[in-house]
Amino acid sequence: DYLKYSRDPGRSPMQWDSSTNAGFSNGTPWLHVNLNYPVLNVEEQLSKETSTLNIYKSLAKLRQLPSFTNKNIIFSTVNDDIISYVRSESGHPKYLVVLNVGSRDSVVDCRGPPLGVSSAQVVLAAGSSLLGISSYRMGDIADLQAIRLKYAEGVIFKI
């Protein structure tokens, strides 16, 4: 009955680095360390700009900006595959968020209202870990007429 009610099978020690026991403990941990700890750990994630950990850290910083802390949201494009919207606050930059929530690659034109601009700077881009990182790079200027997103990819642009 222990395994039926225990949460242990779904848990493992925190994988801090590639050292013995994933840097969790010098002793023998109660739970087994996942076999992927040499390549999937906090130290490794911190060293890669586009890692899941660093993407979440960047998103947390963006959420502190005035354009994201208020209730101003205007949906730009919404269809079966794409959700895009603009976040803004008077006196601060606007941000365009474009997400491909579909099951296929898509191209979307986001030049029209509410933006009225043809290009914008990429501030954050992320793709599915199964497909690799996004084709967009932070700091790039992108053409909003043809935003190409793989499925499960998202990009945030500063207008």
Q: What angle do CA 56, 157, 99 make, to 5 degrees?
A: 65
Whole-number Å distance between alpha carbons of 127 and 51: 10
Q: How many residues does the chain have?
A: 159
Q: Spell out the per-residue pLDDT of the chain, length 159, in tens.
A: 667 777 777 788 999 999 999 999 999 888 889 999 999 999 999 998 888 899 999 999 999 999 999 888 999 888 899 999 999 999 999 999 999 999 999 999 988 777 788 899 999 999 876 656 778 888 999 999 999 999 899 999 999
Task: Show the domains of the chain with their CATH numbers.
Answer: 2-47 (no CATH), 71-158 (2.60.40.1180)
Ramachandran bin of 137, using left for φ above 0, alpha for ψ from -120 to 50, beta for the remaining angles: beta
Q: What is the pLDDT of residue 95?
A: 96
3-class secondary structure, 31:
coil
Question: Nearest 5°: phi and psi at 35?
Answer: -65, -20
Q: How many CB atoms lie within 10 A of CB 77?
A: 17
Whole-number Å distance between alpha carbons of 36 and 61: 29
